[in-house]
Structure 1
């Protein structure tokens, strides 16, 4: 469960087959954050205060991707199912003209969301995300096969207890350029380690984490009319800049902004820069 006080007060959204815990702070046009696999809303702890202070309402849910606190045994945890949960979350909270900010796996789900339920979305920031053939990227491509092996998810979550393992490429080593603080890492990894029900949710998502979903979404990009900003790390080890360039070519109203001295988790490595880019983009594309 996300526990950073900077994210605001806690709420629960009662959705189809799922109760989603979220943090809510600020007032003004809404910005909804979509994190990736095995992290939660704490990923945004350095972004949300800056953006909220600039006059925006920031909502940071713990999506059911393995680091959430409320099990969702009845939820559809395919990428399409999670995208539908996000769309229902926006409807449930009566949010319109929303800015979606996504990172890592959350970006793959956001691409599916954009091509299924664009009606409440005003603009999108894709900050170093899975796309096209790169869902999941190397070295994480083995996770869906691993999820088919009984007991393997529990073994993986136990291994992630070890600090040295956390900095390996198969964990956070290629995701963040600098070590993530231990308290935040514990916030990310503890739910799946301590709860069999959360591990089962994680396993169910992993079984469906396949490039067919991102490739299918890409066939519908020509119909996406909202402005999209791709913020990408020049040094990204998981998602080469060529994928960002491809997204910007295929999405009709997209631009690319490259960030130095960062890997995939730009909210960890370059939070000030990312917050600045989010604010510039939302102001540039504000609804009159």
Structure 2
């Protein structure tokens, strides 16, 4: 893992290198860049894949105590990451986390040439669905984050609808999920960072305003949604695609929210087709 020092703290990232088009892949809450491991394996021969671990609970390096870890703050951190690595004309791909809306609304998408949004938070679905509401309720209680993730040491707890059962149709490998949760099990500072993010969701009007500002993004865009998603409504995906001036929409069957886990090859194939068409 490489690392870069940003205003909020140290961000770790994977960079496959090479001279191919740059694809930056972003994950969601309580996971890390390994969410994309299968997709990266499919793309790395032809693309430079850059995969940061965002400060959303699966990060190993705590952020500074004064860091802005709201949704908008993390979106600005992504823009700063692109600046520091001097990445240009990138294809920005995200799953679960809906920060693309904030990034565009804040006028910080100058280094983004193409946008790919897979099943994620959108409109006022922040925190998303039953798992998001459960995490938000835990974050409001003293020690709630610690208790919530301590319960996830037990694999059966991970398949409940209020935890991770609706995030993937098939269980995430135990060793992968253990690595995602370990920082939250072992570090009070990491739990602090996650709590600040979860409680940093703005008002509904601001969230809806962010979504509307996607109309300002004029580059090629692809919205990929899990057809059977129970956390991120497919209707949200169709609405996002309609807002984007050059947006296209596809659905992937036999998948819940985390398409990179459930259907990585199908997702990678859609990415390849999109990138080939966008650069033609």
TM, length-normalised to structure 2: 0.95
- Shift, 1:225, TM fit: 0.8
- Residues 208-266 of structure 1: CA deviation (Å, up to 9, x unaligned): 13563531212312222122101111111112211111111112111101111100000
Other-structure match for 2:118:
127
**Within the alignment, does 1:248 sit opposite 2:241 as a pair?**
yes
CA distance in 2, matches of 1:227, 1:115: 17
Other-structure match for 1:223:
216
Other-structure match for 1:67:
58
Other-structure match for 2:278:
285
Match of 2:266 among 265, 273, 283: 273
CA distance in 2, matches of 1:126, 1:138: 18
Q: Alignment length, in residue pairs?
A: 275
Match of 1:17 among 2, 5, 8: 8
CA distance in 2, matches of 1:11, 1:113: 24
- Shift, 1:171, TM fit: 1.7
CA distance in 1, matches of 2:71, 2:219: 21
- Shift, 1:187, TM fit: 1.1
CA distance in 1, matches of 2:83, 2:123: 28
Evaluate the alpha carbon distance shift between residue 270 and residue 225 of structure 1 in structure 2; reply closer, same or farther with a 3 A threshold. Answer: same
- Shift, 1:161, TM fit: 0.8
Coordinate RMSD, CA, aligned: 1.3
Evaluate the alpha carbon distance shift between residue 258 and residue 211 of structure 1 in structure 2; reply closer, same or farther with a 3 A threshold. Answer: farther
CA distance in 1, matches of 2:2, 2:244: 34
TM, length-normalised to structure 1: 0.92
- Residues 132-180 of structure 1: CA deviation (Å, up to 9, x unaligned): 0212222122433431211111111111111111111122100000011
Other-structure match for 1:193:
185
Paired residue secondary structure (1:284) = helix
CA distance in 2, matches of 1:255, 1:38: 29
CA distance in 1, matches of 2:207, 2:220: 19
CA distance in 2, matches of 1:169, 1:142: 10
**Within the alignment, does 1:112 sit opposite 2:102 as a pair?**
yes
**Within the alignment, does 1:177 sit opposite 2:175 as a pair?**
no
The equivalences for 1:45-56 within 5 A come to: 45-53=37-45, 55-56=46-47
CA distance in 1, matches of 2:85, 2:140: 36
- Residues 104-125 of structure 1: CA deviation (Å, up to 9, x unaligned): 12xx112211222110001011
Match of 2:87 among 86, 90, 95: 95
Other-structure match for 1:234:
227
Paired residue secondary structure (1:124) = strand
